Each structure stands twice: as structure tokens, then as C-alpha cells.
Amino acid sequence: MEKQSQLELFKFQPHQKDDFKKDRYRPNFFAFIKAHEKAISIIIIFFITSLISFSLGVEKGKRFAKSQIQSTEDKAQPVKSEPERPKQKSPANRVEEKMEKKKDISEYTVQVATFKTNTYAQKEAKRLEKMGIEALIIPSGNFVCVCVGKFSEKQKASTTLNQLKNTYQDCFIRRL
């Protein structure tokens, strides 16, 4: 009997050239992911970070817009309420009003404090009111100023300034 080699027991078919190229160059999705794992994870982290920072920025913008709306509603108003004027305006009343406006032209005031929020400014104005001093609250940009008095001349304002220097060291005269 003739010895058979082991290769003869199995059918052996060598790869055809076309099949070999298909297997070798076939895109393998998971192999691609594995090769570029760090770059893909960095892109995902960047995307999530951008999304979170955008969301926080939107919330901050909402709060900023809300505070701007509130500050425009709180215009410069004296703390003390003025008596209401008659609703009927006769020609004589109109002339009297014009004369009062000319007499009431007040160009100067003494600024005693500046606050970021209106609530602290209101508290300080009430404290001044308890002392018997007329206080004004004037919004100025992102701040709220507390002022004392309305003066037509700078000399009158300087006398009040000298009296307030003991309590408020940095107070100064400003125009309305």
C-alpha cells in the first residue's frame, strides 16, 4: 500500500487572488473604532462640554435680561411721595405750573452711596428718611445711586455735602 500524505486527506484549495483582496481591504467598522478610540472620545467630550456651556450661557442670559427689565422699571423716584396735583388744568393753573417748574429747576444733588441692587438702595434711602433727609434713588448703568436733596446752586449743595461728610466719607456733588 502506498503511503498517503496528510495533505491528501483534506481538500486544500488555495485562495484565489480576488477573494484575498476582498478580505484584506474589507472595511471593518469595529477595527476602525478601535484604532481611533482616543480621537473619537475627545470629540464626544468636546461636544458634551460645548452643549453644557451653551445651556449655562442661555440661563445666564435669561437672568441678565430679567435684571435689565427690573432696573428699567425702577426709574429715579423720590422716596417721599409728592401730593397729587389737580386734574383740571385751567390756563391759570398752567401758568402756575410753568412758574413752579422754573423755580424747581434743580441741577445738583449730593450722591452718598452706590449699590448694585435696588433693595439695598431702598434700605439706605429709608434710613436717610428716618433721619429727616430727602433721599433720591437714581439708576445709573448697572448700579443704583442714593442721592440727597435737589439744589439749584452748587453752593447750597456744598453745605449739605459738608454735613454729610461725617457719615458718608466718599459723598460728592453731582448733576441730576
30 pLDDT tier (thresholds 50, 70, 90): confident
Domain spans, the chain = 25-72, 77-81+103-175
Q: What angle do CA 144, 78, 122 make, to 5 degrees?
A: 45
Q: Are 121 and 149 in contact (CB under 8 A)?
A: no
Residue 124 exposed, middle or buried by CB count within 10 Å (0-12, 13-18, 19+): buried
Encode pLDDT of 32-60 as tens digits: 778 888 999 999 999 999 999 999 988 88
- Whole-Å CA distances, 30 to 4, 23, 113, 132: 44, 15, 67, 81
| CATH superfamily of domain region 77-81+103-175 | Sporulation related repeat (3.30.70.1070)
Q: Whole-prediction pTM value?
A: 0.42
Q: Are 109 and 164 in contact (CB under 8 A)?
A: no
